[in-house]
Amino acid sequence: MVTNGSDSATLIRDSLSTQGFRVEIGPEFTAANARVLQDPFALVLLDASSVMQHGAGKLREIRKHSAIPVIVVIATNTADVRSAWLEAGADDCIAVPVHIREVVARIRAVLRRDAKGQLGVVEVNGVRLNVATRDVEAAGSTLALTTVEFDVLAVLMRSAGHPVSRDHLMEALHQRKATAYDRSIDMHVSNLRKKLASAGAGPNVIKTVRGAGYQFCPSGEAAETSSAAAAAGAGASSTGPLKP
């Protein structure tokens, strides 16, 4: 747990200890980052107030070397703040004031996602996902994915060729349906697209199916065809006759 040692941090530590978790508190991010790389911690609980400046950038430092699950405790519960942390690699965000029962439930949910993968390898459209080792390769490059990004990709790849709704993804990852204002799934998919494209898998390997969700394309041709069809459709509608 990376925090500046507030009273709430002590309460969280003590409460987690009673639930069977072994908790270590580190007040300084750089030292905590080094410990994460050296010791087999299961999860990092990051107090955003302890890294006020360039906090998201500091989280990216962890993501350069580790896919350890990270939950961020945020003081400002806005879409912009949550999105910034999710883009930086956070697996989940919890807003203050924190409720111990929710903290414990979210930690367990993230740890379940991190550990539950079934044995096997899924390979679709040049992307190879190893469920056992939680490694993902595309065009010969290994992708550095967060825990949630891996799980989202696994669900999409197992359903390649078929759209997966946001509700289905939300239920698979968080055991609840998506709300109208919850854009966390969209943010994770956006991050996946960027990382897949950077690795050479192409920008359209995950396409948006309007009104249905997201679909992992089973072939590069399918992704290109869908993009061409969308462009053609847009062109037809823009050049059609105007009604008076």
Q: What is the pLDDT of residue 192?
A: 93
Dump the DSSP string for 36-91: HHHS--S-EEEEGGGG-SSHHHHHHHHHTT----EEEEESS--HHHHHHHHHHT-S
d(CA 178, CA 189): 14
Look over the chain and give the mean of its residue pLDDT values, rounded to a whole number. Answer: 76
Least confident segment among 7-16, 27-36, 186-195, 231-240: 231-240
Q: What is the pLDDT of residue 228?
A: 40
pLDDT, one tens digit per residue, over 168-205 is 888 777 655 556 556 788 899 999 999 999 998 876 89
pLDDT, one tens digit per residue, over 222-244 is 444 344 433 333 343 333 333 33
Across the range 63-91, mean pLDDT stands at 82
d(CA 162, CA 14): 46
d(CA 169, CA 185): 7
Task: Say whether pTM exceeds 0.75.
Answer: no
Across the range 113-131, mean pLDDT stands at 73
CATH of 7-115, one of 1.10.150.120, 3.40.50.2300, 3.40.47.10, 3.90.1150.10: 3.40.50.2300
Report residue 140 CA to chain centroid gap: 22
Q: What is the pLDDT of residue 189?
A: 92
Type of residue found at 10: T
Least confident segment among 34-38, 134-138, 146-150: 34-38
Greatest mean pLDDT among 6-20, 21-35, 47-61 lies in 6-20
Across the range 97-113, mean pLDDT stands at 85
Question: For residue 97, is pLDDT > 60?
Answer: yes
The residue ranges of every structural domain in the chain are 7-115, 121-236
Question: For residue 47, is pLDDT > 90?
Answer: no
Q: What is the pLDDT of residue 155?
A: 86
Q: What is the pLDDT of residue 232?
A: 37
Tell which CATH architecture fits domain 121-236.
Answer: Orthogonal Bundle (1.10)
d(CA 111, CA 144): 18
Q: What is the pLDDT of residue 30?
A: 61
pLDDT, one tens digit per residue, over 144-176 is 998 889 989 988 988 888 888 888 888 777 655
Q: What is the pLDDT of residue 40?
A: 65
Least confident segment among 23-32, 69-78, 138-147, 187-196: 23-32
